Amino acid sequence: MNTLAKRFIHIAAVFALALAPAMSHAADGSQLKPPPGARVAIVMFEDLECPDCARAYPVVWDAAKKHNIPVVLHDFPLQAHPWSFDAAVFARYFDTKSEKLGDDFRGYIFKNQPQIDKSNLRQYADKFANDNKAPIPFVLDSDGQLKAKILADRQMGTQIGLQHTPTIFVVGNGGPATPAVEVEDRTKLDQIIEDMLQKAPAAPTAKKPAAKKAPAKKAAQK
């Protein structure tokens, strides 16, 4: 093999490696379902230190409110981000106070993300806690339950083949008739939700309990 041919093979190999991320398979969201009672939901795997997650967060919530569907958040803190896991623990703590408070904390972290680092994260968390009258214990997550939930989310994300954050799905309640759709272009999120709502079966109407008949009155004895 001459030198020119070897160089061509080397260039081709480098080019193939460069394209590998773009050619990787999309994540498999087939196991993801809407919460009970919901026809369609947005499922988002996020990293609180991820700049693109910060950009996606308000877009996801605006679309959810517009279409009146729930958002299901999963933690996928990347090991390359030094404070994202700790931030997720704080978010899980606020979830225990109320789901809304946890969601608001995530939005607060995303808004302040450029100023946060590992050394001052607790200060930002304490400020949010004090502003919302939900003080954080000095020793947070002493039994490790919050950490376990984050690790379970990250393991699920790994199992379904997540390649990046954020990873956003629109999922329906119709099983094979409504396969999960990964949202690769967020400008198309509204259309994907509308398409899923057309396919998703309507939630069953709760049956009204049958009216009980009043017991027959006995005739008065003379």
Question: In angstroms, what CA-CA distances link 190 with 9, 70, 78, 164?
Answer: 45, 14, 28, 21
Nearest to 190 by CA among 61, 73, 30: 61
In a domain, 53, yes or no: yes
120: alpha, beta or left? (left if phi > 0; alpha if psi -120 to 50): alpha
* Domain that residue 149 falls in: 24-199
What digits encode the pLDDT tens for the residues 47-97?
999 999 999 999 999 999 999 999 999 999 999 999 999 999 999 999 999
Tell me how many domains the chain contains: 1
SS3 category, 148: helix
Q: Is residue 187 part of a domain?
A: yes
Is residue 219 domain-resident?
A: no
Distance CA(19)–CA(85), nearest Å, equals 30
Give the model's confidence band at 172: pLDDT under 50 very low, under 70 low, under 90 confident, else very high. Answer: very high
What is the rounded end-to-end Cα distance, in angstroms, of the chain? 121
At 207 the pLDDT is 56
Comparing 4 with 111, the larger pLDDT belongs to: 111
Looking up residue 86, the CATH number of its domain turns out to be 3.40.30.10
Q: Three-class SS of residue 133?
A: coil
pTM of the model: 0.81
Q: Using an 8 Å Cβ cutoff, are 118 and 86 in contact?
A: yes
Q: Is residue 30 part of a domain?
A: yes
Classify residue 9: in a domain, yes or no: no
Query: What integer best gives the mean pLDDT of the chain?
Result: 87
In this prediction, residue 209 carries a pLDDT of: 55
Judge whether 209 lies within some domain.
no
Distance CA 161, CA 164 (A): 9
Whether 162 contacts 45, CB under 8 Å? yes
Phi, then psi, of 216 in degrees rounded to 5: -65, 140
Question: Considering the domain boundaries, does residue 3 fall inside one?
Answer: no
pLDDT of residue 23: 42
Q: Is residue 156 part of a domain?
A: yes
Q: Give the pLDDT score at 215.
A: 53
